[in-house]
Amino acid sequence: MKKERLIFIYPKLFTFIQTEIELLSDNYELICSSRNWNNKTFLPLNLISQFFFLLFNINRVDIILISFGGYWSFLPVLLGKIFTKKVAIVVHGTDCVSFPDINYGNLRHPLMRWFTKKSYQWASIILPVSKSLVFTENNYYSDKTLKFGYSHHLEAITTPYKVIPNGLILENWRVDKLAKISNTFISVMTNEQILRKGGDLIIETAQKLPNCRFYLAGTSSVNYAPENVICLGKLSPDELKEWYGKSRFYLQLSNFEGFGVAICEAMLCECVPIVSDVNFLPTIVGDTGFILRKRNTLLLEDLIHNALTTDLEQLGKFAKNRIQQNFSISKRKEMLISALKD
């Protein structure tokens, strides 16, 4: 049986985009498009090139799928509307937020904000990876309630949406032999993400917990970190899995997090999660870990002391089972294909 064709547009070939391509390829013949959208100098050229790409291909498909809202989503949605094609936009996080305090969110930039707003208004359906990207309130970061999500930042978005959580390839995170080391914590962030991911809070708290070790995967170095904070630099997936296998806890203390794929990976390796009370993170964890309600080093220190006194081996198994049951790639595939065909 001949596969239906689908145009798939994304700003960059992230690892999870590669997973999405594999997922969709079973049901669709994909026509993919990716350009260098990071450099604004190339924006006019990219838009012209994308326009002709779409004109050539749009009558060959019935569906256009876009990952992230932004400059790259505007023309596909506009032409999809003109040619009466179904256009779905998967939104992930940065395309739904303006958070100047931590220098995060595409909606901080007026031009990007306009392109994104028009894309969401004209799309057939929006597919957020968590409901918090539509709207959420944040009482974690400061004493005042902060509001985020595309329905808050952008007015007059009445486009229907369907929440489809991210899914993981479970087999990729199977650890044959766990060698958990007591009092070890791991977190994943680049140097540029330290403020958004709560790396500064981890470093401050580590100074008060000299008997614990804190590993920062993806971070090359932090000058002001104490000796028990170890920067692992960039790791391959296999290397990261090995460190998950060694670490007892995973820390995800983000100030904003659209979903949290890394915490799901770590939980599959039986790391006990400790997360901030933002967005979808508490839902991922459920009753298998610990929630930090406020961004405060004293509260984090107390929470860690409490966590160290629990049955961590059993809790780690519960954490793994929760991800297997709720966030598998097969579950995402079923929901995504259904949303595209409806």
Q: How many angstroms separate the CA atoms of 76 and 6, rounded?
A: 12
Q: List the one residue out of 107, 76, 73 whose CA is nearest residue 93.
A: 107
**170-326 fold:** Rossmann fold (3.40.50)
Statement: residue 342 has pLDDT above 90: no
**pLDDT, tens digit (0-9, with 9 covering 90-100), for 10-49:** 998 888 899 999 999 999 999 998 888 988 889 999 999 9
For the ranges 1-5, 61-65, 89-93, 290-294, the lowest mean pLDDT is seen at 1-5
Task: Calculate ∠ Cα 101-103-104, nearest 5°.
Answer: 105
Confidence band for 5, pLDDT divided at 50, 70 and 90: very high
State pLDDT tens for residues 242-286: 999 999 999 999 999 999 999 999 999 999 999 999 999 999 999
User: What percentage of the chain exceeds 90 in pLDDT?
Assistant: 90
> Is pLDDT above 80 for 235?
yes
Average pLDDT of the residues in 216-239: 94
Phi-psi category of 254—alpha, beta or left, where left has phi over 0 and alpha has psi -120 to 50?
beta
Q: Is the pLDDT of residue 196 over 70?
A: yes
Mean pLDDT of 127-136: 97
User: Is the predicted pLDDT of residue 1 greater than 80, yes or no?
Assistant: no
Q: Mean pLDDT score of the chain, rounded to an integer? A: 95
Closest C-alpha among 321, 336, 233, 246 to residue 285:
321
pLDDT for 327 equals 97
Q: Cα–Cα distance between 251 and 273 in angstroms, integer?
A: 6
Confidence of residue 3 (pLDDT cuts 50, 70, 90): confident
- The domain defined by 4-167+329-341 folds into Rossmann fold (3.40.50)
- Nearest residue to 273 via CA among 213, 167, 185: 185
CA pair distance 157, 160, nearest whole angstrom:
9
Q: What is the pLDDT of residues 44-91, one digit of tens each?
A: 999 999 999 999 999 999 999 999 999 999 999 999 999 999 999 999
Do 4-167+329-341 and 170-326 have matching folds? yes
Domain boundaries, the chain: 4-167+329-341, 170-326
